[in-house]
Amino acid sequence: MKIHEYQAKELFSSYGIPVKEQILCYEPGEAAVAYEELDTECVVIKAQVLTGGRGKAGGVKLAKSKEEAKDHAKNILGLTIKGYPVTKVIVTEAVDIASEYYMSFIIDRNTKSVILMMCAEGGVDIEEVAEKTPEKIYKFAIDPLIGLPDYLARKFAFVLFQDLNQVNQLASILQKLYKLFIDKDASLAEINPLVTTKDGKLLAVDAKMTFDDNALYRQPEILSLFEPTEDEKVETAAKEKGFSFVRLDGEIGCMVNGAGLAMATMDMIKLYGGAPANFLDIGGSSNPNKVIDAMTLLLKDPKVKVVLINIFGGITRCDDVASGLLSAFEQLKTDIPVIVRLTGTNEKEGREMLLGTRFKVAETMSEATRMAVAASKE
Ligand code: GDP
Ligand code: MN
């Protein structure tokens, strides 16, 4: 689970990690008020979206007056960054930055531990540093039984700083962030940039945290910060209907019974040069209501150009599935081509019931997939 920068900074603040005061705003007018409330010359307006790269997308702007704060807030609130519409911003006191550093704690499956990553070249180009000069990023595995006692925190801090005062500041930030990470079952805690100010203070200018979904049952405080994206809302609604559903980027809507068959269907679509619009396992039974719910879910996605129904009849008989499909589509209003492949118990009877109807019936999985890929490209 991801949280916003402002939420992560509230956690930072409660653990004593230095951050600037911030005010959350939903309207440009609120940003102007926030400017006055912060009572400082220069503020930063920052988009609050669950993705990085806001700076490069125009989602981070400095403002030196109330009018400027309002204008920037208005522009940023109209942006969509990497598919995420910006609905809120923070206004925060600007920092006079001397240098930008990178630091993060992340779970590393190779060392089976948390690792600390640090780099003296932090900021918006960290991806480029990681790609072109990975040796500039220091990595230290943290023994879970030892954690980050003073001597280790200082040893790591000396990697970025020589000045004792700054070493001590960083060591303290490392210890506090590590404690936050462990306490809250995080999978990532990142400060990029961690900055030094002109008067030698260390400060977190950005904050990013993600949490282990499997630990949320024991983290009610973190769970309460959850804000589902539009896709996650659709996935949650699908789960409530008994489906497993994951939205993807392609055009072929898939309705399949069984997770293994659903995976195989997606692989086959890719093999024939198409792209699945989703993963959908509708489980067993031929209940027409289930088919209606599943089709409604698929048709909500404007990208879906064709639907591929791939059913293996085991205990559920194929003729039952066919009559379920027929009665479901009496109620559904759509012109989208629907390709059906039925196999297993009573498959012949099932297929015969669908001949001469709106469905395009295929005998094998590869035939059905090729038909769906062809229809998606028309
Ligand atoms: P991101 O692009 O989503 O990672 O957003 P950040 O919060 O990291 O901001 C991007 C960049 O904006 C930072 O690397 C800084 O260079 C700059 N920036 C952010 N806040 C301030 C600030 O208070 N003062 C100054 N001078 N620059 C800032
Ligand atoms: Mn950042």
> In whole angstroms, what is the distance from residue 249 CA to residue 77 CA?
26
Q: Which atom from ligand 1 is nearest to the alpha carbon of 54?
A: 3
Map 294-322 to HEC letters: HHHHHHCCCCCCEEEEEEEECCCCHHHHH
53 within ligand 1 shell (Cβ under 6 A): yes
Position 146 pLDDT exceeds 70: yes
What is the pTM (predicted TM-score) of this model?
A: 0.80
Structure tokens at 36: 């006055």
Q: What percent of the chain has pLDDT over 70?
A: 99
- Which of 91, 103, 206 has most ligand 1 atoms within 8 Å of its beta carbon, as the pocket-test mutant? 206
Q: How confident is the model at residue 236 (pLDDT cuts 50, 70, 90)?
A: confident
Say whether domain 230-376 belongs to CATH 3.90.45.10: no
User: How many residues belong to the chain?
Assistant: 378
Q: How far is the CA of 99 from the centre of ligand 1 (A)?
A: 11
Q: How confident is the model at residue 230 (pLDDT cuts 50, 70, 90)?
A: confident
- Which of 76, 99, 101, 124 has most ligand 1 atoms within 8 Å of its beta carbon, as the pocket-test mutant? 124
Residues 167/142, Cβ–Cβ less than 8 Å:
no
pLDDT for res 283: 84
**Residues annotated as catalytic (active site), given as ranges:** 102, 190
Give the closest residue (by CA) to ligand 1 atom 25.
95
Q: Which residues are annotated as a binding site for substrate?
A: 257, 314-316
Position 284 pLDDT exceeds 80: no
> In whole angstroms, what is the distance from residue 291 CA to residue 99 CA?
58
Residue that has been written with the tokens 């639907």 in this structure: 307
Q: How far is the CA of 123 from the centre of ligand 2 (A)?
A: 6
Q: What's the one-letter identity of residue 365?
A: M
pLDDT for res 286: 67
Among 328, 338, 340, 326, which residue's Cα sits nearest to residue 292? Answer: 328
Q: Which residues are annotated as a binding site?
A: 46, 53-55, 95, 100, 192, 206, 257, 314-316
94 within ligand 1 shell (Cβ under 6 A): yes
Q: What's the one-letter identity of residue 198?
A: K
Q: Which CATH class is domain 1-19+97-227?
A: alpha beta
Q: How far is the CA of 205 from the centre of ligand 1 (A)?
A: 7
Q: What's the one-letter identity of residue 216?
A: L
| CATH fold label, 21-94 | Dna Ligase; domain 1 (3.30.1490)
Q: How confident is the model at residue 307 (pLDDT cuts 50, 70, 90)?
A: very high
293 within ligand 1 shell (Cβ under 6 A): no
Residues 6+ positions from 204 with CB-CB distance below 8 Å:
9, 12, 17, 18, 19, 173, 191, 194
Residues with CB under 5 A from ligand 2 (ion): 192, 206
Give the closest residue (by CA) to ligand 1 atom 11.
55
Position 291 pLDDT exceeds 90: no
> In whole angstroms, what is the distance from residue 19 CA to residue 180 CA?
15
Domain extents in the chain: 1-19+97-227, 21-94, 230-376
Give the closest residue (by CA) to ligand 1 atom 8.
206
